[in-house]
Amino acid sequence: MRTPGIARSFLLSAAMAAMLAGGSRGGSSAELDLGDRLYDEGRFAEALPHYDKWLERHPRDTTILNRRGICYLRTEQPEKAMGDFDRINAQTIAYMRGFGDRFGLYSPVYPEAYGNRGTALLMLGRDREALENFQEAVRLWSYQGFARRNPSVSAAYQGLGQAYHRLGQAPAAIEAYNTAISIYPADANSYVGRGDVLLDRNLIAEAFADYDRAIQMDPTHSRGYASRGIAHYLQGENEKAVADLDQAIAIDPNYAKAYSYRGAAHARLGQNELALKDYDAVIRLMPEFAGGYKDRGGVLYRLGRYDSALRDLDRAIQLDPRKGKAYQNRGAVQTALGQYERAIADYDRALELDDKNAGAFTNRGRAHFAIGHYDQAIADLSEAIQLEPKNPITRFNRAEVFLRLGMNERALEDYSATVEIAPKMAPAYAAIGRIQAQLGRRDEAIRDFDMALRLDPKGAGVAVYQDRGNVRREGGDWAGALSDYDQAIALDPRRAELYVARGWARLGSGAEWADNDARAYLMLKGWRDPFSPYMGLLAILGARGTPREAEARRLLDEAVVNTPRGQWPDPILRYFHGDIDANTLLASARSQRHLAEVHAFLGLEAIRTQNPAAARPHLEYARDHGAPGSIAADVARAALTRLP
């Protein structure tokens, strides 16, 4: 016999609604009609001034107070929305005090306002109070008998689900969403909300099924596309995330959260200019939202626009001094500007706010590393590894500190752990290769350099081609070394040191055009560079016996003129210039390195004059006493293999 009771309650409530609305809406209602039309079209910001004017004349119209409160919610003004919902509740309580609860004489706007007030509290982060408001809304709806197939009742359960979700009570949240669906299964919001809870519980397939269901039910459901896009983003599927968020924004161009996540996805894809536009939109829509400035500051940092980044991050901290990520981002900008002490102060503040912030520990460790505080750097990076043991960047950074300290084996352990976690991280393979080369493990070094180049032929290219070429040269593979130097120069023809490596490799292997590399180096560096005198030597040695010898001799003359007397290798230059003899040259050497170089050049000169017997002892001395991996030792070794 419940149906007649529901009908009576509804009729009484409808009558009370008219009373609470402040009487008849006769007279000029054009303002209200325009506000309602804009509201129904989703143009909430435009509807607000029309509702303001109506409520100036009809301040007790709870229906319009509720609608204006919803407009405030949809334009991210939860505090103002709370004011309207509180007015509805106060007016209702004033009318109903003494007999309303007994007879159920109140407008349906009353429980709806409780639910909307709960939404405002959620937006303000007051989740426990929000839960209480949604519980009261559910109680009031149930008390009135409206619980069956009523969208407003379903919405109250949705609010319950969201509040439980925020409070970490996932089972209760799912139960609330299930109830919302059972009451009104045609509301896509319930499926989206339940999908969000399932996603947090790592029930990925079930979450996507709910998002898909919501979108199938309502292809214009912007929140459905946004939530599915966010789920794709959280799964690392950035292209799919952008596609869904594009749809959400096309449906609702004022959807700030969708812009925010699309900006994050664009940033992950390296599309920083697109990310910047998205964060511009977030700030335009939510000018008091600290997170928008924090995120835009991060993108500006990646674009190298440090002054603008600092302004945004300062603004984020001003709006929300407890936003640790803003301090972390500002610290990164300070680090990029070389202001390491300021950066460390920002990272300290970020860690005061969140002592589990692995990123802040990592960044602070890097800042300590930059100013030589190696113990603090290792301590911070080790703490970050404890917090995020599967983060390859932190392992890589700690390996860099160990390498700087000469702890090659410890560095090798961390680099190796890095590639176990991130098998496609080319810089880690390149770093392993360099350590293997230092340890004399040439085959292992070449294998790791090969892997780095296979994974990232352009990004890792120049330095790795050069490093692999050096290892091949030291191992006597001159053809392989020349091939690597050719590749490196093709990628970066203005990197002068590559011409040093290739020029001396050409000379050592007996190949042509070593003098051309000397000329290329001198065009880039001029004569003030400390290595330029050696390139003058390379020019004359490489061009001897060719039609280019006269030009090479001119370069030798310039080298003699531009190298101060007494500055090494001035004696070698003057020997080749004919100004001193071999004995004077030998006597001028001031160190073992100088002496090895003198013997190497005397050996090369003896080969040129067809005196291999005289060349051999000089070359053997340079091979045996030159620094491992030095050009003098390698060229001497190569020349010895060509002696009869």
Comparison of pLDDT for 459 and 75, the residue scoring more = 75
For residue 165, what pLDDT band results from cuts at 50, 70 and 90?
very high
At residue 413, the pLDDT reads: 96
Residue from 254, 256, 215, 259 nearest 241 by CA: 259
> What is the fold, at CATH topology level, of the domain defined by 220-280?
1.25.40
Tokens found for residue 537: 């030597």
Residue from 479, 474, 472, 432 nearest 452 by CA: 432
Mean pLDDT of 236-256: 96
C-alpha triplet 376, 379, 381: angle, nearest 5°: 105
At residue 144, the pLDDT reads: 60
pLDDT in tens, 88-123: 888 777 665 544 444 444 456 778 888 999 999 999
At residue 145, the pLDDT reads: 60
> Inter-axis angle of helices 62-74 and 109-123, to 10 degrees?
20
For residue 362, what pLDDT band results from cuts at 50, 70 and 90?
very high
For residue 3, what pLDDT band results from cuts at 50, 70 and 90?
very low
For residue 149, what pLDDT band results from cuts at 50, 70 and 90?
low
Residue count of the chain, please give it.
644
Residue from 88, 82, 89 nearest 59 by CA: 88
At residue 212, the pLDDT reads: 97
Is residue 221 within 8 A of residue 186, CB to CB? The reply is: no
Least confident of 239-248, 357-366, 630-639: 630-639
* Mean pLDDT across the chain: 90
At residue 636, the pLDDT reads: 92
At residue 22, the pLDDT reads: 43
Q: Do 220-280 and 288-354 have matching folds?
A: yes
Q: Which CATH number fits domain 288-354: 3.40.710.10, 1.25.40.10, 3.40.50.1370, 3.40.50.720?
A: 1.25.40.10
Q: Name, in order, each residue with C-beta under 8 angstroms of 360's C-beta and a sequence gap of 6 or more.
A: 324, 327, 328, 331, 347, 350, 351, 354
25 pLDDT exceeds 60? Answer: no
Mean pLDDT of 447-468: 91
64 pLDDT exceeds 80? Answer: yes
pLDDT in tens, 479-535: 999 999 999 999 999 999 999 999 999 988 889 999 999 999 999 999 999 999 999
Residue from 286, 224, 213, 294 nearest 256 by CA: 286
Q: For the chain, give every domain's residue range.
A: 220-280, 288-354
Mean pLDDT of 407-427: 95
